[in-house]
Amino acid sequence: MSVAHSLAPSSRLAAVAAGLSLLVCCEGLAAAEPVEWSANHAEAVARARKHGKLLLVVHLSGDFAANAADAPEAKLYRELILSDPRVVAALADRFVVTYKHVGEARALRRQNVALPADRKDSRAEAAKGPPRPSEMAIAYICLPDERVLHFVPGFVSARQLHAELAWVEACYSQLVNLSEAEMRGELRTLHQAEIEPPDHKAFLTSFQSRWPASGPAPEYSTVEIPFVINSARLVWRWSQGQRLGMNTAFDKLSASARFESRSTLSSSLAAHGRLGTDFAHLVMSEFPLAYLSDLAEPAYEACAGQRFWQVSPRRDELARWWADCAKRGRRTMLIVSGHVQPDDANPAAEVPPASPPPWPDDDAARLAELWRVAAQVVTIDELALVLTDANLPPLEYDSVAGPPRLILHDARGFRCGEVAASDVTAEKLAGMLRTVVGAAASERAIQPTGEQASSVKE
Q: How many domains does the chain have?
A: 2
Q: By the 8 A CB rule, do 345 and 227 touch? A: no
Residue 456 lies in a domain: no
Model confidence band, residue 22 (pLDDT cutoffs 50, 70, 90)? very low
Between strands 415-419 and 406-409, the pairing is antiparallel
More confidently predicted of 364 and 265: 364
Does residue 133 carry a pLDDT above 80?
no
**Cα(367)–Cα(360) distance, rounded to whole angstroms?**
11
Question: Same domain, yes or no, for 299 and 356?
Answer: no
**Cα(83)–Cα(72) distance, rounded to whole angstroms?**
15
Question: Same domain, yes or no, for 252 and 325?
Answer: no
In terms of residue numbers, what domain contains 173?
17-304
Does residue 157 carry a pLDDT above 70?
yes
Between strands 95-103 and 54-63, the pairing is parallel
More confidently predicted of 447 and 56: 56
Model confidence band, residue 42 (pLDDT cutoffs 50, 70, 90)? very high
**Chosen domain end from 304, 334, 368:** 304
Of 47-61, 264-278, 300-314, 363-377, which gets the smallest average pLDDT? 264-278
Question: Same domain, yes or no, for 95 and 220?
Answer: yes
Residue 5 lies in a domain: no
How confident is the model over 320-376, as pLDDT tens digits?
A: 999 999 999 999 999 998 654 445 444 444 444 444 455 677 788 888 888 889 999
Taking all residues of the chain, what is their mean pLDDT, rounded to a whole number? 78
Per cent of the chain over pLDDT 90 is 47
pLDDT at 338: 60
Residue 162 lies in a domain: yes
Of 178-187, 308-317, 370-379, 443-452, which gets the smallest average pLDDT? 443-452
Question: Same domain, yes or no, for 153 and 278?
Answer: yes
Does residue 236 carry a pLDDT above 60?
yes
pLDDT at 395: 92
Torsion angles phi and psi, residue 410, rounded to 5: -85, -175
Residue 217 lies in a domain: yes
pLDDT at 363: 81
How confident is the model over 402-436, as pLDDT tens digits?
A: 788 889 998 888 898 888 877 777 888 888 888 87
Residue 458 lies in a domain: no
Most confident of 95-104, 116-125, 226-235, 441-450: 95-104
Question: Same domain, yes or no, for 131 and 169?
Answer: yes
**Cα(378)–Cα(392) distance, rounded to whole angstroms?**
16
Question: Same domain, yes or no, for 142 and 72?
Answer: yes
Question: Same domain, yes or no, for 284 and 406?
Answer: no
Does residue 126 carry a pLDDT above 50?
no
Question: Same domain, yes or no, for 96 and 179?
Answer: yes
**Chosen domain end from 304, 329, 351:** 304
**Cα(373)–Cα(330) distance, rounded to whole angstroms?**
7
Per cent of the chain over pLDDT 70 is 71
What's the CATH code of the domain at 396?
3.40.30.10
Of 137-141, 388-392, 422-426, which gets the smallest average pLDDT? 422-426
pLDDT at 365: 85
Does residue 449 carry a pLDDT above 90?
no
* 148 contacts: CB under 8 Å, gap ≥ 6: 140, 141, 142, 284, 289, 290, 291, 292, 295
pLDDT at 114: 46
Torsion angles phi and psi, residue 378, rounded to 5: -135, 160
Residue 8 lies in a domain: no
Most confident of 116-120, 385-389, 452-456: 385-389
pLDDT at 456: 34
- Written as one letter, the residue type at 298 is P
Q: What is the mean pLDDT of residues 123-132?
A: 49
421's enclosing H/E stretch is none
Residue 115 lies in a domain: yes
**Chosen domain end from 304, 325, 354:** 304
Question: Same domain, yes or no, for 53 and 152?
Answer: yes
Q: By the 8 A CB rule, do 81 and 27 touch? A: no
pLDDT at 443: 45
Model confidence band, residue 16 (pLDDT cutoffs 50, 70, 90)? very low
pLDDT at 426: 80
Question: Same domain, yes or no, for 97 and 165?
Answer: yes
Question: Same domain, yes or no, for 67 and 167?
Answer: yes
What is the pTM assigned to this prediction?
0.80
How confident is the model over 207-220, as pLDDT tens digits?
A: 889 898 887 888 88
Residue 1 lies in a domain: no
Question: Same domain, yes or no, for 262 and 401?
Answer: no
- Could you give the C-alpha distances from 9 to 5, 145, 160, 269, 315, in angstroms and in order? 11, 32, 10, 9, 41
